[in-house]
Chain A
Amino acid sequence: GAVVSQHPSWVICKSGTSVKIECRSLDFQATTMFWYRQFPKQSLMLMATSNEGSKATYEQGVEKDKFLINHASLTLSTLTVTSAHPEDSSFYICSAGGGGAEQYFGPGTRLTVT
């Protein structure tokens, strides 16, 4: 139980284009989902918290117009990186709240912007 999927697992895009990453909770409903970014050999950096049916809450320093988050249902949240640039290349990971303090993470999406 508590499986979270992400799609795509790996994406390459050209600078200036937009990329959408999907995060789905497969066997449970998630009122809250989280989006993280992780650089090689570094820890998780929380980008935003999304609650179903409401606007996402972004962490300080994260551009909300660049990283668009939509949590349209209890099983799906999406992250769109708009006008991507090479510095946006990173490993993006979503997680879904399990009802308590625990989180269930997706497998991650590796984004490379050329």
Chain B
Amino acid sequence: QKEVEQDPGPLSVPEGAIVSLNCTYSNSAFQYFMWYRQYSRKGPELLMYTYSSGNKEDGRFTAQVDKSSKYISLFIRDSQPSDSATYLCAMSAMNTNAGKSTFGDGTTLTVKP
């Protein structure tokens, strides 16, 4: 069983919809949680970086962490066609680069105009 599980999708939604992307994990040592967006044939881009449980909002994006359930989510409000990409969750036990991140396999999202 993988340490981080992420539904690969694909997920297709109409423009303007609220999108929910999720990851579950098994390692209770994970404290730091990231979401990355990767467009086709490009490197991933850091979207959100959160610590421990709770919510963090940045524009149309909200990251939510529930450590008790070992479950994290990324919500995208008012989704746009430009949000069409693969979204990767990542987690780390340490707040330094000495602790490597463990990545999910990514969820592919398509937002249709």
Contacts and interface: CB of A to CB of B under 8 A. Distances in A.
Interface of A: 2, 4, 6, 31-32, 34, 42-44, 46, 49, 91, 93, 95, 97-108, 110
B29 interface: no
Nearest to B108: A41
Interface of B (DSSP majority class): loop
Contacts of B44: 44, 93, 95, 105
Given A101-B94, A103-B90, 16 more contacts: A34-B100, A42-B105, A44-B88, A46-B100, A91-B41, A93-B43, A93-B44, A99-B97, A100-B49, A100-B95, A100-B96, A103-B46, A103-B101, A106-B43, A107-B42, A110-B41
Contacts, number: 67
Contacts of A6: 43
A107 B44 CA distance: 8
A52 B32 CA distance: 24
A107 B39 CA distance: 10
Nearest to B33: A101
Interface string B16-37: 0000000000000000101010
